[in-house]
Amino acid sequence: MPDSNLTALMLYWGMISGFLGCGITPLIFDRKARNPWFGAVIGLAVGIISGQIFGRLILLLFSNAAPNLAPWLSLLGGLIGLIALWVLVPANKETRLNHRGFVAGTVTPMVFYLATLSVLPLLWAFVLAFFDYSPRRVGGPILGLGGENPFVGFEYFQMMLEGSGRDGRMFQNSLVNTLLFTALVLPLNMLITIPLAVMIESTGSRFKGFFRAVYFLPVVTSSVGVAIMWGYIFNTQYGLLNSAIRAVGGTPVAWLQDPSANILGIPTAMVAVVIAYLWQDFGYNLVIYIAALQGIPDSLKDAAKADGASPLQLFFYVTLPLLRPTILVTSVLTVISSFQVFDLIQVMTQGGPGRIGQTRVLVLEIYENAFRFERMGWAAAIAVVMFIFVAVLTLIQTRVLRTNWEY
């Protein structure tokens, strides 16, 4: 069997058996009046070890007789050790049931999932950022690091800071584009969603559900489909927007291709991508704001009206301040999603136009370096910097918009 297939199976044996062990063992330990949290830890360890040992044994036994079925049967290797654990653990009759097995059996698998599929890859990215690592080269004995994948220390981060070389300039350009994209998306999203949510909430109950569904539809639409649709709208030759410009006697614009075209100093390609992104994304925040508006007590609005507040004063002095916790949540989520924009830009502009790329963002830079050029170390360093930027911006938003009151 190829090494890549065996490595994948080893991962499956560990993940599946670990999930079964820490998910089911706490319930059995609870039934036997034993500590379910201890059972979760024991089940996790036994499941992973049993999966690796018996999974490999099953694979060897059936690889010749049933080569297509053997990998699937090997996934059951973890059950051999787990069933033995479940049967052999004696019941503790001196202790009453505490009924915590369901909690332990629910929480522990999620912690295991986050640790293995979120935290560990994040730590691995931090490690790779200090190595000139490529999977094509043979490295040292520890995770392929060292050898032909040498340790470079802070060299990558120094290149980013100084903008030295083509890589440094491309990074700085991508960072500026990402910050520009986020700076355009965040306020525009707020300016659209908050007033629109207030207007929808003020309509009759018969139409509220209809408007919520209509505005939320773009959110569940495929991003690639949205990018293709807006690509046709902004097409230079037969796009809907240029057709409208021609109809009124104007000059068509190469929205996605002309690096010299701009609107108020902002490249038209960036403006086009921002419009497409806002069209798809604003419905998500809109639904959140509608839910927040429904949670504002009517007594506060009635008191303001009784004091003679106009609808505009009611919005700015009552509704908007009470939406501050919701604004914090939506602004943080919008900044995070803006930094992660990729598919719209990849389909609409591929990071262009221009020699260095007027819509080339950090995630596109990470993607091309990691999977096109297989420069995992440089891509990991960019990912670390992007993580730091998002964390800092989140802390700033939390500091500025946090509240110490409830209603």
pLDDT tens profile 365-380 = 999 999 998 999 999 9
Looking at residue 405, its pLDDT comes to: 66
**Which one of 3.20.20.80, 3.40.640.10, 1.10.3720.10, 2.60.40.10 gives the CATH number of domain 163-229+263-401?**
1.10.3720.10
Q: Domain extents for the chain?
A: 3-125, 163-229+263-401
Query: How confident is the model at residue 31, as a pLDDT?
Result: 86
Amino acid 141: pLDDT:
78
> What is the distance between the alpha carbons of residues 358 and 356, in angstroms, rounded to a whole number?
7
What confidence score (pLDDT) does residue 386 get? 96
d(CA 312, CA 29): 61
The CA angle 155-395-324, to the nearest 5 degrees, is: 155
Tokens of 269: 């390609």
Contact 241, 248 (CB under 8 A): no
CA atoms 131, 132, 136, 138: torsion sign? negative
Distance separating alpha carbons of residues 80 and 286, to the nearest angstrom: 50
Encoded tokens for 312: 């505009």
The structure's pTM equals 0.85
Mean pLDDT by 10 residues, the chain (407 residues): 72 93 92 89 95 94 87 92 93 67 88 87 91 86 84 93 90 96 96 93 81 90 93 91 91 91 92 96 93 88 86 88 92 95 94 90 94 92 95 93 73
- Residue 126 pLDDT: 92
Helix 376-401, helix 165-202: angle, nearest 10: 40
Partners of 262 in beta bridges? 267
Per-residue model confidence (pLDDT) at position 3: 52
Ranges of H-type helices in 217-314: 223-233, 240-247, 268-294, 298-306, 311-314
